[in-house]
Amino acid sequence: MKNDILLKSLKKEPIERYPVWLMRQAGRYLPEYREIRQKYKSFLDFCKNVEDAALVSLQPVDILGVDAVIMFSDILVILEPMGIKVSFEAGEGPKLEHDFNFKSLKSNDLAKDLDYVFELLKVLKEKSPVPVIGFCGAPFTLASYVIEKESSRDFAKTKIFMYENQKDFHTLMEKLSEALIEYIDHQIKSGADVIQIFDSWSMALSKSAYKEYVYDYNAFIIKSIKQKHPNTPIIYFFRGSSSHIEQASTLGADALSVDWSVCINEVCNTYPSLAFQGNLEPQVLLLSKEIMRKHIEEFIMCIPRDTAFIVNLGHGITPDVSKDNVKYFVECVKEVSYGKRIKFKNS
């Protein structure tokens, strides 16, 4: 591995600048990605083609110069071997089919059906000059897709089911948690240097609901993985960061990836034992280069530490940004944070 600055930062080791990568960095904003995507009618077929999935995973490293590669996949792929049919409709997002009999869901021995994910990680581990990030969805985020059977804006069906059918909801969360532990374990064994857990829809929950219905499952997964792989960093990404950060800080993750609802200066000072990732708004990438640079400079100056930080967005890159702007963003973060605004330990 030629560039391990991301791992050094996660482990609180001295760094010469902040590492940078972007959620959804392999995606529709890249013409190189769109060219390969055209070969496939089905998004899942694309994910299952190891050669092309590896190609698009590595594109941002070559094109943008990011400090990590994240495997090209989807958080919902784990649901198929559990017994839930998943399809992606063009322009509509995922569609799920099942009969709500959650006791019948398979929650172990899933590795064979997800072999394409593990093969992808092996290829990336061999070819990538930067750390490889594996990932999964958090139990609640996956459960919301299962209950809604599609994407949602208000998660009304999920919350009604959660409150009115508590036993069935907890059965679903338990099944998902068991499956996720096995899934993450195999990802690490296949070459993932870092694991990111995506809790994208935690923003739909109140603090009390998060504590009662979600917290214990997240903590159980992280604890179980840490017992098996104590040296593999785990990043917990959660929307609604300002609401849930106090609880998230005790989950056992090495780093918290936060959205723009928190002040990065405040959270870094409040939770000094944790690494942080984030938390710029994705729309920064739509700004002119001059204004974008100003935002980056101001952001870097707000970070009150010299390591244990990764620059990223508070959510994924949107399809309407230009490749040129994303490349400039990465270059600018590297330049601005290279000891110019902050005195690093080894500078």
The CATH number, out of the four listed (3.40.50.720, 3.90.600.10, 3.20.20.210, 3.30.300.130), of the domain defined by the range 5-337: 3.20.20.210
Does residue 281 have a pLDDT over 80?
Answer: yes
| pLDDT-derived band at 340, boundaries 50, 70, 90 | low
Q: Tell me what pLDDT residue 187 has.
A: 98
pLDDT in tens, 56-83: 999 999 999 999 999 999 999 999 999 9
- Residues 12, 10: Cα–Cα separation, whole Å: 5
The mean pLDDT value for 180-191 works out to 98
Burial class (CB in 10 A: 0-12, 13-18, 19+), 291: exposed
Pull the structure tokens for residue 72: 């090209």
Kindly give the pairing relationship between strand 194-199 and strand 132-137. parallel
Give the three-state DSSP class for 322.
Answer: coil
pLDDT in tens, 228-263: 999 999 999 999 999 999 999 999 999 999 999 999
Domain ranges of the chain: 5-337
| Residue 280 Cα distances to 92, 204, 209, 261, 344, angstroms | 27, 20, 27, 10, 22
The mean pLDDT value for 101-105 works out to 96
- Residues 156, 139: Cα–Cα separation, whole Å: 17
Angle, CA of 97, 102 and 104, to the nearest 5° = 95
Q: Tell me what pLDDT residue 31 has.
A: 96
Angle, CA of 274, 214 and 143, to the nearest 5° = 120
Using CA atoms of 120, 126, 130, 136 in order, give the dihedral in degrees to the nearest 10.
Answer: 20
| pLDDT-derived band at 1, boundaries 50, 70, 90 | low
Kindly give the pairing relationship between strand 69-70 and strand 234-238. unpaired
For residue 70, how many C-alpha atoms fall within 13 Å in the half-sphere facing its CB?
22
Is this structure's pTM higher than 0.85? yes
Does residue 317 have a pLDDT over 80?
Answer: yes
Give the three-state DSSP class for 273.
Answer: coil
The mean pLDDT value for 334-339 works out to 89
Angle, CA of 219, 224 and 227, to the nearest 5° = 125
